[in-house]
Amino acid sequence: MSSSKKYMSKRILVTSALPYANGPLHLGHLAGAYLPADLYVRYKRLTGADILYICGSDEHGVPITIAADKEGVSPQDIVDRYHTMIKDVFAEVGISFDYYGRTSSPVHYEVSSEIFKNLHDKGVFKKKTESQLFDPEAGKFLADRYVKGTCPKCGNTEAYGDQCEKCGTSLSPAELIDPRSMLTGAKPEHRETEHWYLPLGDLQPEIEAWLNTRENWKPNVMGQCKSWLSGGLNDRAVTRD
């Protein structure tokens, strides 16, 4: 096989961070995540490379349900509006995705379910019961962004359950002083709930070995990955209330 044929047979997949369908794109998004990837993809296409540039709107997650609660509309209304807006902006700016989808599409559910079922059949998940914050007035468990309180590090009274935006500290809802529910303002209670976890720590040796075979990664990306590993990987929750 000639070297050019060898090169042609290499398939390249490019993706950029999925934008959350909870607000419009701004110039910072375009310059940071999409324009550099688009330049790379366009260059590779010119050289005849077998390359695909795939992206889509992320239509699940707390930022979307919070935006819906704020406007008094359904999460579906929010994602339909912003997915359309974001997709149109990408088209107008000329970002040359081969495919721009949305995480609510049937194929996304099929692939996610397949990965989940495969891991479940192999008995990979661990079940753990733990205490989480619960809003007694709303009758709901509160995910991180649904809780605000005082940051234990800097005293900011508007810290979120996952992060204090004033001092940048990562938090868990249980660390907040005087926590309050974003839904009703009620003082949350601790209640026991069962969740399933992916035991990432068990996979650490394999992940480390794989990482050491990577070439040409940017030093800051490699540094970030290595810092997660050096801190030890924790079990990762794959279910939510």
For the chain, strand residue ranges (E) read 11-15, 50-57, 99-102, 126-135, 140-141, 147-150, 159-160, 177-181, 189-198, 236-237
Are 157 and 146 spatial neighbours (Cβ–Cβ below 8 Å)? no
Between residues 156 and 184, which has the closer beta carbon with respect to Zn ion?
156
Closer of 67 and 171 to Zn ion (Cβ): 171
Q: Rounded to whole angstroms, how far apart are CA atoms 101 and 178?
A: 41
Cα distance between residue 154 and residue 168, in whole Å? 10
Nearest to Zn ion of 86, 176 (CB atom): 176
The only residue of 55, 64, 164, 182 in contact with Zn ion, by rule CB under 5 A: 164
151 touches Zn ion (CB under 5 A): yes
Q: Considering beta carbons, is residue 95 or 147 the nearer one to Zn ion?
A: 147
Interface with Zn ion by CB under 5 A: which range of 9-17, 89-97, 160-168, 218-226?
A: 160-168
The SS3 of residue 99 is strand
Please, what is the minimum distance in Å from the beta carbon of residue 163 to Zn ion?
9
- Residue 150 as a binder of Zn ion (CB under 5 A): the answer is no
Q: Are 54 and 90 in contact (CB under 8 A)?
A: no
Least distance (Å) between residue 92 CB and Zn ion: 39
Binding Zn ion (rule: CB under 5 A), the pick from 154, 177, 203, 237 is 154
